[in-house]
Amino acid sequence: MAGAYDIWLVGLSIVIAIIASYATLDLAARLTASRDSAAPYWLVGGALSMGIGIWAMHFIGMLAFRLPIPLANDIPITLGSMVPAVLASALALFVIRRGSADRGALLISSVAIGLGIVAMHYSGMAALRMSPPIRYDPVLFTASVLVAIAASMAALKLALRHRPAESIAAAMWHRLAGAAVMGLAIAGMHYTGMAAALFDAQSVCLASPGGLDPQGLAVIVGGGAILIFLFTLATSALDETLQLRATAIAKTMTQELQASRVHLEQSEQALREANQKLEMIIQGSPLAIYTRDVHGIVTGWNPAAERMFGWRADEILGMPLLTVPREKRNETESLRQRVLNGENFVQAEVRRQKRDGSPIDISTTLAPLRDSAGQLSGYLAIAADITERKRAEEEIRSLNNELEARVAERTRQLEAANDELEFTNRELESFSYSVAHDLRSPLRAINGFSAILSEEYAGKALDATAQDYLQRVRTAAERMGELIDDLLDLTRVSRAEVRRDEIDLSAVAHAVAGTLKSADPQRNVDIVIAPAAPARADPGLTRIALENLFGNAWKFTSKSENARIEFGVVTVDGMPAYFVRDNGVGFDPAFGDKLFEQFQRLHAEHEFEGTGIGLAIVDRIVRRHAGKIWAEGAVGQGATFYFTL
């Protein structure tokens, strides 16, 4: 008797096989990654899900089979056929849980699982209760067994295959491909076994028919199986998500712990290095460094302290501080209490004693020391020997006192000398003024009688020689008159009261230049004056100064073809310095120090007239303004006179 198949149910059985295979591979991955405590639950749940899936595929495949006679399935036998599938699935998951298997173990496991599937298939066929019984083609029967074993081996290899870390999408595609291979292999085994079945032409089905048609029963079984698969996959996905989250948290915590450990090790290493450096600094420091506990016992003593005070470390450690003289103990205790009471730094200059009893002055700084709990455990002291400095300070104080006494005595002497000098200057000025004033009367007589003789006896009683002598007398008298006038001017400048007003020296310079041009209109001199030269000075005295400076420039440019006189102001040392510059005959810088002395001339009288008083008057005016005057020049290159007020 020939059979046929419902194509839709065949397709549904293959889909169920593929879904079951996907769920199996997913469960295999979860079982491998699960904790030991959760493994039995995944093993039991996975065996049930996988066994039911394989059984559902075979059951739907049986429902897809059609014979010319009515067919039904014995319910107890059909349900009993599920047991070999569950046991085979449990064996498969157990092998997968172990994680690896050699070829022999893999072959034995594949045979056992394959035989379990074969037992499930043919016990399910027996549920038809055919009469006469179903016969099987030996070749196809053997082929179905081999297909079952091959499918089992393929499933185990796919489940045991190790893959490096891959993305979720890649893992899903690999799992789908494996599920398709496994599903088709399982379906191939079923339909190979179905092809091996031989039905007699007079065969009848003795199983009691159910109330549902095959299609409805297939939908119910298939839907139930799919729901079980979905529940299994959802449970697996949830567990995977939770495990991934737990793994991520554990990884993060591990990384943080590792980072903390590395940081702690680095900190400990840095602390050790810092302590080593600190110890090297303390041992190599030229300053005495020692530590004491809260009771005043010495706990640290560096080599510099040994050299400074004379006690070796092994002699003073564990002892009270032996460097404090008896009369200084209260002072030392006061400093110690200040540190113990919370002051961060206590500085003082104190006297101590060495081991040999000799005194030593030190500058010391005290700082508190605290233990790991932050409690005060003592203090650190750093000391520098300042004995020589103290001795030098004492000598400096003594010298300062002596110097102050000498300065006071010298000041008194200078004040007395200054008073005497001022008195002498006043006497000299009065004398000069009196002499100059008293010389005018006889000088006027000499001038007058000389003029009368020259006019009344010209060409009569006086011969040429007498006339020459008389002219010389008159010239000398006029010269003396000029000298007397200049002396009087110098005296007036020295005695005049200085009144400081806001003035414009450029305006004064314009007035002086105008006077010179009016007095000698034949000369063509280029006079350049700065637009503004403000100053705070005496108007009358500064005009006299500019008259003498411009007069000098006018006089000493008389032999220049393109005579030029310039007045301006520049900044020297942050102060305005006014200047008068000319392009006249200049002067030899070697004799520049004589320019401002009275009656000093650097040129012969027959070359340029003058008394040698003009620049002395300018110097006196500048000094009375507490200023300075100086000159720059060279022979044949003109001269520049600078002055400040």
More confident residue, 26 or 38: 26
Distance of CA 161 to the CA centre of its chain: 55
- Host H or E run for residue 585: none
pLDDT at residue number 161: 63
Q: Which residues are within 8 A (CB) of 627 and not within 5 positions of it... i.e. 6 or more apart? A: 643, 644, 645
CATH class belonging to 391-495 = mainly alpha
Tell me the C-alpha distance between 553 and 639, whole Å: 8
Give domain 285-385's CATH architecture: 2-Layer Sandwich (3.30)
Backbone angles phi, psi at 360, to 5 degrees: -145, 130
- State yes or no: pLDDT of 210 exceeds 80: no
CA atoms within 13 A on the CB side of 546: 29
Q: Which residues are within 8 A (CB) of 246 and not within 5 positions of it... i.e. 6 or more apart? A: none
* Mean pLDDT, residues 241-260 taken together: 78
324 with 352: CB under 8 angstroms? yes
Q: Dump pLDDT digits (tens) for 560-569.
A: 888 999 999 9
SS3 assignment, position 296: coil
- State yes or no: pLDDT of 431 exceeds 90: no
Query: The tokens 């809260």 sit on which residue?
Result: 294
Task: Give me 610's structure tokens.
Answer: 């003058």
- State yes or no: pLDDT of 479 exceeds 70: no
Backbone angles phi, psi at 208, to 5 degrees: -70, 130
pLDDT at residue number 8: 83
Reported confidence tier of residue 162, pLDDT bands at 50, 70, 90: very low
Q: What is the CATH code of the structural domain delimited by 499-643?
A: 3.30.565.10
122 with 140: CB under 8 angstroms? no
Domain boundaries, the chain: 4-236, 285-385, 391-495, 499-643
Q: Which residues are within 8 A (CB) of 86 and not within 5 positions of it... i.e. 6 or more apart? A: 47, 48, 50, 51, 52, 55
Average pLDDT taken over every residue of the chain: 78
Q: Dump pLDDT digits (tens) for 537-572.
A: 988 888 888 988 998 899 889 888 889 999 999 999
* Mean pLDDT, residues 321-347 taken together: 84
Question: Count of CB atoms within 10 A of residue 371's CB?
Answer: 9
Reported confidence tier of residue 94, pLDDT bands at 50, 70, 90: confident
39 burial level (CB within 10 Å; 0-12, 13-18, 19+): middle
More confident residue, 420 or 217: 420
Q: Dump pLDDT digits (tens) for 437-456.
A: 666 667 677 777 777 777 77
Tell me the C-alpha distance between 32 and 478, whole Å: 138
pLDDT at residue number 426: 63
Backbone angles phi, psi at 507, to 5 degrees: -65, -40
636 with 586: CB under 8 angstroms? yes
- State yes or no: pLDDT of 158 exceeds 70: no
Reported confidence tier of residue 433, pLDDT bands at 50, 70, 90: low
SS3 assignment, position 295: coil
* Mean pLDDT, residues 356-382 taken together: 88
pLDDT at residue number 339: 85
pLDDT at residue number 234: 62
Angle at 182 between CA 177 and CA 184, to 5 degrees: 95
pLDDT at residue number 643: 94
Number of H helices, E strands in the chain: 16, 18
* 13-17, 225-229, 478-482 — most confident range: 13-17
What is the pTM (predicted TM-score) of this model? Answer: 0.37
- State yes or no: pLDDT of 436 exceeds 80: no
- State yes or no: pLDDT of 90 exceeds 60: yes
Task: Give me 508's structure tokens.
Answer: 């004064």
* Mean pLDDT, residues 124-137 taken together: 82
Secondary-structure breakdown of the chain: helix, strand, coil percentages, each rounded to the nearest 5? 60, 15, 25
Question: Count of CB atoms within 10 A of residue 266's CB?
Answer: 10
Instruction: Tell me the residue type at 243.
Output: Q
Angle at 493 between CA 533 and CA 621, to 5 degrees: 35
- State yes or no: pLDDT of 468 exceeds 80: no
More confident residue, 382 or 218: 382
Tell me the C-alpha distance between 443 and 540, whole Å: 29
* Mean pLDDT, residues 474-490 taken together: 66
Cis peptide bond upstream of 132, omega within 30? yes
- Host H or E run for residue 268: helix 214-284
Partnered with residue 567 across adjacent β-strands are: 529, 580
Query: The tokens 């004492």 sit on which residue?
Result: 394
- State yes or no: pLDDT of 311 exceeds 50: yes
Instruction: Tell me the residue type at 5.
Output: Y
- State yes or no: pLDDT of 330 exceeds 80: yes
* Mean pLDDT, residues 183-193 taken together: 78
Q: How far does the chain reach from its first CA to its final CA, in angstroms? A: 145
- Host H or E run for residue 179: helix 168-196
Task: Give me 9's structure tokens.
Answer: 């149910």
pLDDT at residue number 34: 56
Which of 613, 639, 642 lies closest to 548, judged by CA? 613
- State yes or no: pLDDT of 586 exceeds 90: no
* Mean pLDDT, residues 246-265 taken together: 83
* Mean pLDDT, residues 592-619 taken together: 70
